[in-house]
């Protein structure tokens, strides 16, 4: 705020100014001394400004919410207001009143005043309790599916006892998603299991705690003893992690009311009570609200209005919400950042050629998805005199343009990754670099970092070398164009021959990798075809992968492994690497049980055993079964993460079955690759080092931020696909499609529709309708609805339609059409929530 001159904010260091510094008086508390120091500063500033020749006299106003301080100020002749009084006096801007934080909890108590929650223990006592082992400290994670349940991940605890279940309103005790909390474990006979019930808070029973208690009884179902997990209650808050939340106003039914409930877009965040005079204007708008506090006798926290984002359902507004909710930095690059870009017109200088090899004579080409402008990588392949093959992977030399520690570098590391939404790309680096100077487009000279191997015809590496280079790509092809060249009977030019050589080697490399136990897992990726005028999705299909996709992938993997080995060899303490931990065996329960129900055996003792049993698992009568098993296997995986080699000893990449791995091949869109480029450049003597590059603690912190940004980018992408899917079905009416059951829950089944790569939950309980008889069997797993039993992987038929009754959480509803469950009594009009998969279910992480 201070740096932006248009805002006119100034800081005045009164404690270091001779005329405003004061000593603490005898018997005066340090708090009273500080209050007096502020009053002295206000008086001095008032006198100081009188000396300035200004058109109008500037008056200094003292804002304080401290009653005694304000009274003393008024006695001393200072103009003083509470924040609320001052804002209310600005009659020209009445909407500012809405933005006032709910400060005092006294006046805002709910009329009933009934105490709902236990008191929070003060911080000093919590810290003693944590030291003595009475309480545990951890991060509070609210459940997306059940608002009466949460888990706390204990910090720095032994692996096996990482997670504590918290169940019921009083035990959740006003904690909010991502808060750091203190938990007291309950006695063993009160431990519970995570419930399989899906419960959404509809906000209807705000003052009726009895209804909440009835719902809590729903959670306590009979479970076998092995399912019970450590269970606790939140006794205090160590650190609030509140942020401004996007969502919508649920307008009060009372006429002229000022108090309303705000419903956040993120289901893990509770509703928030706010006061506003502009409820009529804000209805149907996406708004931002901040939490101010959560008194013990209030079912919901208090907060205040911050900003109106625009109409709900509007594409621009929804994209903004999605980016804000996933904490994706997306404001335009600042002038300071842009000032570090090369001046145009840019060309390669003599200086640039130092430490570089000129490889412009090579027949290099790039292969990417259609419409790709940020081309990170290019390839070449040619036979050398001794009969061996030379293969080169050439990667954009982004670290040449982004120098350590300047504003451009700081902004890139903050963003961490480029985020690809359905119709929009949020770049990690400014467009001049991402789509032009760093993009390895065809027929222009570009700076690259090359990894070149000499291989024999069995794709065995004989020599590896790395060099900074200058290349001139001869063709930028799409996967389809490259495939067409490889398959063509007539084309035999250099690029085509090179592609055929690469393809042949890639097949050998792939086979070898899979023989080593690498996993090929399936995830239904969706592609939209947009209407060129309205930009609405008109067609939706799952992406098909061509041979050339995997050709490029094989060489990228190989380059990443080669570079990982080199930088680790050179810098064992501070190589930035990427690992993929093996999942704990219990993660696979769901996969093993589901396969068993189809008489198939899945072995999970190693990646190789899993890969082999997935290859064998199939059914001639049910060809899609294998894909479903692989999709389910993906959900059992852990998240792959960046780490610093000096801070960890487990380097293994489970999914790729590689003992070491890093990211080198996408520096335009991933910051990790830029660090890897810098390390490699130092290793081969092509660039100089700098202190942060060899500080393993700084690197470890950076990895933490990069892992967070990558995770959020993934969720934002899924949310974008979900939103576009809703737009697609908006104009479709009812669509009837085949679906397969992926999971069964106590009161619902999760289905996948292969045609659209779409997942949704079909509920078997609806408000105002009689609930069918439900029998859930966790062992099989199956769910019996009345007399029909549904198993995982069963093929069903569903009707799909958009339910826009709740404008904020518009959802795809699915109606089970076959098998028909309830004869004539109740139409099986069973609702669903489209799984935007903002967060995959716990531990079922995507590779």
Region 739-745 average pLDDT: 86
Structure tokens at 781: 């797993």
Measured distance CA(509)–CA(489) in Å, rounded: 25
Structure tokens at 627: 């894909």
Instruction: Locate the DSSP E strands across 173-316.
Output: 180-185, 231-239, 245-250, 259-264, 272-275, 285-293, 302-311
Site of tokens 């974008």 = 720
Task: Look at residue 426 and tell me whether its pLDDT is greater than 90.
Answer: yes
Q: How many helices (DSSP H) and strands (DSSP E) are in the chain?
A: 20, 33
According to the model, what pLDDT value does residue 825 have? 39
Q: What is the pLDDT of residues 21-79, one digit of tens each?
A: 999 989 989 889 999 999 999 999 888 888 877 667 788 899 998 889 999 999 999 99
Closest CA to 673 of 681, 682, 683, 663: 663
Peptide bond connecting 366 to the previous residue in cis, omega within 30 degrees of 0? no
What is the Cβ-side half-sphere exposure of residue 284, based on CA atoms within 13 angstroms? 6
User: Taking a C-beta distance cutoff of 8 angstroms, is the pair 178, 139 a contact?
Assistant: yes
According to the model, what pLDDT value does residue 110 have? 46
DSSP 534-548: T--EEEEEEPPPPHH
Please state, rounded to an integer, the average pLDDT across all residues of the chain. 84
* pLDDT classification of 361: cutoffs 50, 70, 90: very high
| Distance set, CA 705 to CA 105, 441, 678 (Å) | 36, 31, 18
User: Taking a C-beta distance cutoff of 8 angstroms, is the pair 403, 384 a contact?
Assistant: no
* Between 566 and 791, the higher pLDDT residue: 566
According to the model, what pLDDT value does residue 281 have? 87
User: Taking a C-beta distance cutoff of 8 angstroms, is the pair 122, 236 a contact?
Assistant: yes
Task: Look at residue 531 and tell me whether its pLDDT is greater than 70.
Answer: no
Task: Look at residue 214 and tell me whether its pLDDT is greater than 90.
Answer: no
Measured distance CA(617)–CA(191) in Å, rounded: 38
Structure tokens at 640: 């792959």
CA angle 248, 249, 252 (to 5 degrees): 155
Task: Look at residue 835 and tell me whether its pLDDT is greater than 60.
Answer: no
According to the model, what pLDDT value does residue 186 have? 92
CA angle 711, 713, 717 (to 5 degrees): 120
Q: Nearest 5°: phi and psi at 10?
A: -130, 150
* pLDDT classification of 820: cutoffs 50, 70, 90: confident
Measured distance CA(402)–CA(414) in Å, rounded: 14
Measured distance CA(339)–CA(327) in Å, rounded: 25
Helix (H/G/I), strand (E/B), else coil: 149: strand
* pLDDT classification of 215: cutoffs 50, 70, 90: low
DSSP-derived letter for residue 442 is B
Q: Nearest 5°: phi and psi at 721?
A: -60, -40
Q: What is the pLDDT of residues 751-790, one digit of tens each?
A: 888 877 778 888 877 766 777 888 888 777 888 888 888 8
According to the model, what pLDDT value does residue 63 have? 93
- Give the number of other CB atoms < 10 A from CB of residue 103: 16
The dihedral over CA atoms of 828, 829, 830, 835, expressed in degrees to the nearest 10, equals 140
Measured distance CA(207)–CA(203) in Å, rounded: 10
Helix (H/G/I), strand (E/B), else coil: 633: helix
Region 826-834 average pLDDT: 40
| Domains by residue range for the chain, with CATH | 14-99 (3.40.50.1010), 123-239 (2.40.50.690), 244-312 (2.40.50.700), 335-581+639-717 (no CATH), 585-636 (no CATH), 733-818 (2.40.50.140)
* Proportion of the chain above pLDDT 70, given as a percent: 87
Closest CA to 563 of 426, 445, 453: 453
Peptide bond connecting 834 to the previous residue in cis, omega within 30 degrees of 0? no
User: Taking a C-beta distance cutoff of 8 angstroms, is the pair 846, 523 a contact?
Assistant: yes
According to the model, what pLDDT value does residue 353 have? 86
Lowest average pLDDT, out of 195-209, 275-289, 449-463, goes to 195-209
Task: Look at residue 277 and tell me whether its pLDDT is greater than 50.
Answer: yes
The dihedral over CA atoms of 738, 845, 373, 364, expressed in degrees to the nearest 10, equals -100
According to the model, what pLDDT value does residue 524 have? 57
DSSP 509-523: HHHHHHHTT------
Task: Look at residue 379 and tell me whether its pLDDT is greater than 90.
Answer: yes
Helix (H/G/I), strand (E/B), else coil: 379: strand
Residue-wise over 435-444: b if at least 16 C-beta within 10 A, else e? Answer: bbbbbbbbee
Burial class (CB in 10 A: 0-12, 13-18, 19+), 802: buried
DSSP-derived letter for residue 24 is P
Closest CA to 378 of 388, 369, 365: 365
| Distance set, CA 644 to CA 540, 604, 688 (Å) | 40, 28, 20
* pLDDT classification of 831: cutoffs 50, 70, 90: very low
- Strand 302-311 with 356-358, pairing: unpaired
Structure tokens at 279: 């409820």
According to the model, what pLDDT value does residue 617 have? 81
576 has which bridge partners? Answer: 644
Measured distance CA(334)–CA(9) in Å, rounded: 19
According to the model, what pLDDT value does residue 522 have? 63
According to the model, what pLDDT value does residue 828 have? 40
Structure tokens at 508: 């050998």
Task: Look at residue 289 and tell me whether its pLDDT is greater than 90.
Answer: yes
Helix (H/G/I), strand (E/B), else coil: 168: coil
Measured distance CA(564)–CA(561) in Å, rounded: 5
Instruction: Locate the DSSP E strands across 163-224.
Output: 163-167, 180-185
Q: What is the pLDDT of residues 319-346, one digit of tens each?
A: 999 999 898 999 999 888 999 999 989 9
Structure tokens at 87: 């804002």
Length of the chain, please?
A: 847
According to the model, what pLDDT value does residue 807 have? 67
Measured distance CA(232)–CA(135) in Å, rounded: 10
CA angle 710, 716, 720 (to 5 degrees): 145
Task: Look at residue 841 and tell me whether its pLDDT is greater than 50.
Answer: no
DSSP-derived letter for residue 580 is B
158: which residues sit within 8 A by CB, 6+ positions away?
none
Task: Look at residue 553 and tell me whether its pLDDT is greater than 80.
Answer: yes
Q: What stretch of H or E contains 281? A: helix 279-282
Task: Look at residue 661 and tell me whether its pLDDT is greater than 90.
Answer: yes
pTM for the model stands at 0.77
* Between 205 and 369, the higher pLDDT residue: 369
Region 667-696 average pLDDT: 92
673: which residues sit within 8 A by CB, 6+ positions away?
395, 398, 663, 664, 665, 666, 667
According to the model, what pLDDT value does residue 139 have? 92
* pLDDT classification of 211: cutoffs 50, 70, 90: low
Region 533-558 average pLDDT: 73
* pLDDT classification of 843: cutoffs 50, 70, 90: very low
User: Taking a C-beta distance cutoff of 8 angstroms, is the pair 287, 305 a contact?
Assistant: yes
Q: What is the pLDDT of residues 114-165, one digit of tens each?
A: 788 999 999 989 999 999 989 999 999 998 888 888 999 988 754 445 889 9
Helix intervals (H) in 639-695: 671-683
Closest CA to 79 of 45, 30, 102, 105: 45
Q: What is the pLDDT of residues 430-440, one digit of tens each?
A: 999 998 899 99
Region 491-507 average pLDDT: 93
Q: What is the pLDDT of residues 576-608, one digit of tens each?
A: 999 998 888 888 888 888 888 778 888 888 888
Region 89-104 average pLDDT: 80
Q: What is the pLDDT of residues 249-275, one digit of tens each?
A: 987 777 767 789 999 988 899 999 998
User: Taking a C-beta distance cutoff of 8 angstroms, is the pair 566, 466 a contact?
Assistant: yes
DSSP-derived letter for residue 588 is G
Region 212-234 average pLDDT: 71
Measured distance CA(776)–CA(788) in Å, rounded: 12
* Between 194 and 232, the higher pLDDT residue: 232
């Amino acid at each position: 705020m201070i740096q932006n001159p248009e805002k006119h904010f100034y800081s005045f260091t009164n404690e270091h100014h001779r005329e405003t510094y004061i000593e603490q008086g005898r018997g005066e508390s340090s708090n009273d001394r500080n209050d007096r120091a502020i009053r002295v500063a206000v008086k001095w500033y008032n006198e100081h400004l009188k000396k300035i020749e200004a058109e109008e006299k500037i008056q200094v106003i003292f804002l304080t919410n401290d009653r005694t301080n304000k009274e003393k100020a008024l006695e001393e002749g200072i103009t003083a207001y509470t924040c609320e009084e001052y804002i209310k006096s600005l009659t020209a801007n009445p909407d500012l009143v809405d933005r006032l934080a709910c400060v005092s909890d006294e006046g805002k108590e709910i009329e009933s005043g009934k105490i709902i929650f236990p008191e929070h223990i003060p911080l000093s006592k919590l810290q003693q309790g944590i030291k003595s082992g009475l309480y545990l400290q951890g991060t509070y994670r609210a459940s997306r599916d059940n608002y009466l349940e949460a888990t706390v991940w204990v910090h720095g605890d032994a692996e096996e006892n990482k997670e504590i279940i918290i169940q019921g309103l009083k035990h959740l005790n006003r904690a909010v998603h991502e808060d750091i909390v203190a938990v007291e474990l309950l006695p063993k006979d009160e431990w519970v299991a995570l419930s399989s019930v899906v419960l959404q808070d509809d906000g209807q029973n705000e003052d009726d705690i009895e209804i909440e208690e009835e719902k809590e009884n729903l959670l306590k179902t009979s479970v076998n003893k092995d399912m019970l997990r450590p269970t606790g209650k939140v006794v205090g808050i160590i650190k609030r992690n509140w942020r401004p939340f996007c969502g919508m106003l649920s307008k009060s039914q009372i006429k002229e009311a000022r108090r309303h409930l705000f419903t956040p877009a993120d289901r893990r965040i509770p509703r928030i009570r706010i006061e506003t005079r502009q409820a009529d204007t804000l209805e149907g708008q996406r708004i931002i609200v901040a939490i101010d506090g959560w008194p013990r006798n209030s079912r919901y926290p208090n907060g205040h209005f911050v900003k109106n984002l625009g109409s709900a359902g509007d594409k621009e507004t929804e994209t903004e919400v999605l980016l804000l909710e996933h904490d994706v930095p997306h404001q335009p690059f600042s002038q300071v950042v842009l000032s570090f870009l090369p001046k145009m017109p840019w060309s390669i200088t003599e200086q640039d050629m130092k430490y570089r090899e000129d490889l412009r004579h090579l027949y290099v080409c790039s292969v990417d998805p259609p419409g790709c402008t940020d081309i990170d990588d290019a390839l070449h392949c040619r036979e050398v005199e001794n009969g061996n093959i030379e293969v080169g992977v050439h990667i954009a030399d982004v670290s040449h343009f982004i120098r350590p520690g300047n504003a451009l570098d700081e902004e890139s590391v903050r963003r961490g990754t480029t985020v690809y939404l359905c119709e929009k790309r949020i770049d990690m680096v400014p467009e001049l670099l991402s789509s032009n100077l760093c993009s390895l487009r065809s027929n222009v000279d570009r700076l690259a970092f090359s990894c070149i191997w000499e291989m024999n015809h069995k794709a065995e590496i004989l020599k590896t070398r790395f060099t900074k280079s200058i290349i001139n790509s001869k063709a930028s092809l799409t996967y389809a164009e490259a495939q067409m060249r490889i398959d063509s009977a007539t084309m035999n030019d250099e690029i085509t021959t090179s592609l055929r050589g690469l393809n042949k080697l890639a097949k050998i490399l792939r086979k070898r990798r899979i023989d080593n136990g690498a996993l090929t897992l399936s995830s239904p990726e969706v592609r939209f075809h947009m209407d060129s005028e309205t930009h609405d999705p008109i067609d939706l299909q799952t992406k098909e992968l061509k041979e050339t996709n995997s050709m490029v992938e094989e060489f990228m993997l190989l380059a990443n492994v080669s570079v990982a080995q080199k930088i680790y060899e050179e810098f064992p303490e501070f190589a930035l690497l990427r690992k993929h931990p093996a999942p704990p065996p219990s993660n696979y329960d769901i996969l093993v049980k589901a396969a068993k129900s189809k008489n198939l055996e899945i072995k999970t003792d190693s990646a190789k055993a899993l890969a082999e049993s997935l290859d064998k698992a199939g059914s001639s009568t049910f060809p899609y079964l294998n894909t479903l098993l692989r999709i389910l296997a993906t959900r059992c995986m852990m998240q792959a993460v960046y780490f610093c080699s000096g801070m960890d000893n487990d380097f293994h990449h489970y999914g790729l079955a590689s003992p070491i791995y890093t990211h080198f091949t996408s520096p335009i869109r991933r910051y990790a690759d830029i660090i890897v480029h810098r390390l490699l450049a130092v290793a081969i003597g092509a660039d100089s080092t700098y202190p942060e590059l060899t500080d393993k603690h700084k690197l470890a912190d950076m990895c933490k931020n990069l892992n967070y940004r990558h995770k959020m980018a993934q969720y934002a992408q899924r949310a974008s696909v979900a939103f576009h899917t809703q737009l697609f079905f908006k104009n479709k009416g009812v669509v009837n499609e085949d679906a397969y059951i992926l999971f069964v829950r106590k009161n619902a089944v999760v289905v996948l529709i292969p045609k659209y790569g779409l997942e949704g939950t079909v509920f078997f309980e609806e408000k105002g309708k009689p609930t069918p008889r439900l029998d859930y069997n966790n062992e099989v797993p199956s769910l019996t609805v009345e007399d029909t039993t549904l198993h995982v992987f069963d093929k069903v038929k569903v009707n799909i339609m958009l339910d826009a009754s709740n404008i904020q959480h518009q959802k795809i509803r699915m109606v089970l059409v076959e098998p028909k469950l309830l004869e004539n009594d109740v139409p099986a009009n069973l609702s669903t929530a489209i799984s935007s998969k903002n967060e995959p279910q716990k531990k079922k992480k995507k590779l």
